[in-house]
């Protein structure tokens, strides 16, 4: 028998050990290759060299766009995950009936690039008239949840303000009509008055409005579900504030600012009580909730200088000091667990961004905070955060400066024909506004600018909650009438039957 032969037993053991070694080598090599692959390394079968990879995630709205890199199709649609060698790339998303979306980027080794926000727009947008207004509506506004569009109806002097509400989830449904009681208005017979949106409450029911009329202005809270419950804040508090803001995006309490004396006071709309001033000598302010706001004051500042302050639950902290100006830009928002502040004037060319400054100021280790980064822009008129707070946008005329809090990158560019008034953040990554009489949208860094349809709305257009349609008002026709138009952002098979 073979197992009794010593030579054959030795040969068998040798073969067995050799097999074990080869299996161990294969397992080790496989584990090494798997580890290197998960660590961002790959193997080039053409050159036999180890290459360093990165990951690319791509998505789009609508989906199903073809992914092209450096002019070559990747045989992949959005949404996809691609493992690519580190390097410079030109990305293009292509879909029939839509304009291409493009971007150049650098993919570093062991890094991840995400482009999951692209919005594809039709090559030929086709507006559809919903209703004609003669003369054009003076106010068009949208609830924060983007479900309802409120359009003012032309009125005769002395008549109540009337509005039509459109359900953006079902635009085939006729709009519902509401009226603001004429008894709320001071000098209701004024023919040259004007309503302007200040801000909406988060309940999507109340909107704070400013009404300018010959001889003055006043602030109103319109209750679109129960118009009879609407309130004239000037009458309620027996005061004439320069500015009003919702205290916590709700209508039960409001901040009232009085330019004479720079007082900021809290008014309770449930009982009409107006508290005493908790801030004085303010030049401008911005509320960020119930117990937090930023403001600018000349109190204690050298001649020609002003101080930016944070009011936090009854205590004041000096954020920074800068040259006084005619316009002040203030804002604050929370991103990834950190608070970011911007307070400056239109005379400051280098605008600081402050990260969690209250941590330093409350500790008393410094009299003012130090900016973590700065944006360069002369003549700033407006500052704002994108809807996801990732981007801080500074605007001055047709110039913009943007800082990306996630990637720590800054961008500066111009948009000819634009103004700070006519541009706003459309979502977390894009601007929208009126440029040269047309609705334009573009990415945070100025690329992928798309001109869509003519519009006279200051903010260009209003989008529904899923960004499937937008609503705009073009210039009046020869008869002085304008149409409220709906334009579908989907084409072909993307439009439901």
Greater confidence (17 vs 400) lies with: 400
Res. 45: pLDDT tops 80: no
Give tens-digit pLDDT for 75-91.
999 999 999 999 999 99
Which distant-in-sequence residues (6+ apart) come within 8 Å of 497 by Cβ? none
∠ at Cα 187 (182, 188), nearest 5°? 30
Cβ atoms of residues 330 and 294 within 8 Å: yes
The yes-or-no verdict on residue 450 having pLDDT over 70 is yes
Based on DSSP, count helices (H) and strands (E) in the chain, helices before strands: 3, 40
For residue 220, the model assigns a pLDDT of: 98
Q: Given pLDDT bands bounded at 50, 70 and 90, which one contains residue 188?
A: confident
Q: Which CATH architecture has domain 42-115?
A: Sandwich (2.60)
Q: Which residue has the tokens 């319109």?
A: 222
| Token representation of residue 457 | 């709305």
Q: What is the pLDDT of residues 217-234, one digit of tens each?
A: 999 999 999 999 999 999
| Inter-CA distances, 359 with 131, 389, 412, Å | 53, 20, 30
What is residue 496's predicted lDDT score, i.e. its pLDDT? Answer: 87
CA 385 – CA 450 distance, rounded (Å): 21
Residue for token digits 């639950």?
313
Largest pairwise CA distance in the chain: 120
Reported as a single tens digit per residue, the pLDDT across 304-325 is 999 999 999 999 999 999 999 9
Asked if 306 contacts 283 with a C-beta cutoff of 8 angstroms, the reply is: yes
Given a cut of 70, is residue 384 above it in pLDDT? Answer: yes
* Average pLDDT for 127-150: 96
- Residue 112: pLDDT above 90? yes
Structure confidence at residue 438 as a pLDDT band (50, 70, 90): very high
How do residues 146-169 score in pLDDT, each as one tens digit? 999 999 998 877 788 899 999 999
pLDDT of 47 strictly over 50: no
Q: What is the mean pLDDT of residues 223-251?
A: 97
Rg of the Cα trace of the chain? 30
Helix (H) or strand (E) holding 130: strand 127-133
Measured distance CA(54)–CA(165) in Å, rounded: 49
pLDDT band at 26 (very low <50, low <70, confident <90, very high): low
Residue 467 CA to residue 312 CA, distance in Å, equals: 37
CATH homologous superfamily of domain 136-420?
YVTN repeat-like/Quinoprotein amine dehydrogenase (2.130.10.10)
Q: Which residues have C-beta within 8 Å of that of residue 167, sequence separation ≥ 6?
A: 147, 148, 173, 175
pTM of the model: 0.88
Average pLDDT over every residue of 382-399: 97
Please state, as a whole number, how many other Cβ atoms lie within 10 Å of the Cβ of residue 438.
17
Say whether 22 sits in a helix, a strand or coil.
helix
Average pLDDT for 244-272: 97
Cβ atoms of 219 and 208 closer than 8 Å: yes
- pLDDT for res 77: 95
Average pLDDT over residues 10-31: 62
Question: Two tokens at 208?
Answer: 């704070």
CA distance 86 to 463: 37
Whether the pLDDT of residue 31 is over 80: the answer is no
The Cα 118–Cα 251 span in angstroms is 36
pLDDT of residue 192: 84
pLDDT (average), residues 116-142:
95
**Residues 368-380: tens digit of each pLDDT:** 899 999 999 999 9
Q: Say whether pLDDT at 340 is over 70.
A: yes
Average confidence (pLDDT) over 12-18: 65
pLDDT band at 16 (very low <50, low <70, confident <90, very high): low
SS3 46: coil
What is the rounded CA–CA span in Å between residue 370 and residue 322?
Answer: 13
Per-residue confidence (pLDDT) for residue 43, from 0 to 100: 47
- 32 pLDDT exceeds 80? no
Residue 51, classified by CB atoms within 10 Å of its CB into exposed (0-12), middle (13-18) or buried (19+), is: middle
């Amino acid at each position: 028998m073979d197992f009794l032969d010593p030579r054959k037993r030795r040969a068998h053991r040798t073969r067995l050990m050799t097999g074990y070694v080869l299996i161990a080598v294969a397992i080790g090599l496989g584990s090494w290759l798997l580890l290197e692959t998960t660590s961002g390394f790959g193997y080039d079968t053409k050159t036999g060299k180890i290459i360093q990879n990165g990951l690319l995630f791509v998505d789009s709205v609508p989906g199903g766009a073809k992914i092209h890199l450096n002019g070559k199709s990747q045989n992949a649609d959005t949404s996809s995950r691609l493992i690519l060698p580190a390097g410079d790339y030109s990305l293009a998303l292509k879909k029939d009936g839509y304009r291409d979306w493009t971007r150049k980027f650098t993919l570093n080794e062991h890094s991840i690039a995400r482009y999951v926000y692209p919005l594809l727009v039709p090559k030929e947008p086709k507006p559809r008239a919903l209703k004609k207004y003669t003369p054009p509506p003076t106010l068009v506004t949208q609830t924060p949840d983007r479900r309802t569009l409120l359009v003012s109806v032309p009125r005769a002097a002395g008549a109540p303000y009337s509005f039509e509400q459109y359900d953006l989830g079902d635009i085939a449904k006729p709009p519902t009509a509401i009226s603001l009681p004429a008894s709320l208005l001071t000098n209701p017979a004024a023919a040259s008055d004007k309503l302007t949106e200040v801000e909406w409450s988060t309940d999507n029911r109340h909107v704070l409005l400013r009404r300018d009329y010959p001889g003055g202005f006043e602030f109103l809270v319109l209750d679109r579900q129960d118009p009879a419950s609407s309130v004239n804040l000037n009458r309620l508090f027996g005061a004439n504030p320069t500015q009003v803001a919702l205290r916590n995006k709700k209508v039960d309490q409001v901040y009232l600012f009085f330019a004479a004396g720079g007082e900021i006071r809290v008014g309770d709309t449930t009982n009409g009580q107006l508290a005493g001033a908790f801030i004085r000598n303010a030049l401008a302010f911005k509320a960020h909730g119930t117990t937090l706001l930023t403001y600018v004051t000349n109190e204690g500042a050298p001649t020609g200088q002003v101080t930016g302050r944070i009011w936090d639950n009854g205590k004041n902290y000096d954020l920074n000091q800068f040259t006084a100006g005619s316009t002040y830009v203030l804002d604050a928002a929370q991103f990834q667990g950190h608070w970011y502040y911007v307070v400056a004037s239109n005379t400051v060319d280098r605008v600081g961004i402050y990260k969690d400054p209250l941590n330093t100021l409350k500790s008393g280790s410094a009299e003012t905070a130090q900016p973590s980064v700065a944006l360069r822009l002369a003549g700033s008129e407006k500052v704002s955060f994108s809807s996801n707070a990732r981007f801080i946008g500074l605007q001055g005329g047709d110039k913009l400066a943007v800082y990306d809090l996630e990637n720590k990158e800054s961008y500066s560019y111009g948009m000819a024909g634009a103004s700070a008034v006519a541009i706003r953040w459309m979502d977390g990554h894009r601007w929208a506004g009126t440029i040269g009489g047309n609705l334009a949208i573009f990415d945070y860094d100025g690329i992928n600018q798309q001109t869509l349809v003519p519009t006279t709305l200051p903010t260009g257009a209003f989008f529904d909650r899923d960004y499937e349609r937008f609503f705009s008002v073009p210039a009046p026709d020869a008869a002085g009438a304008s149409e409220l138009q709906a334009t579908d952002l989907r084409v072909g098979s993307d439009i439901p039957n």
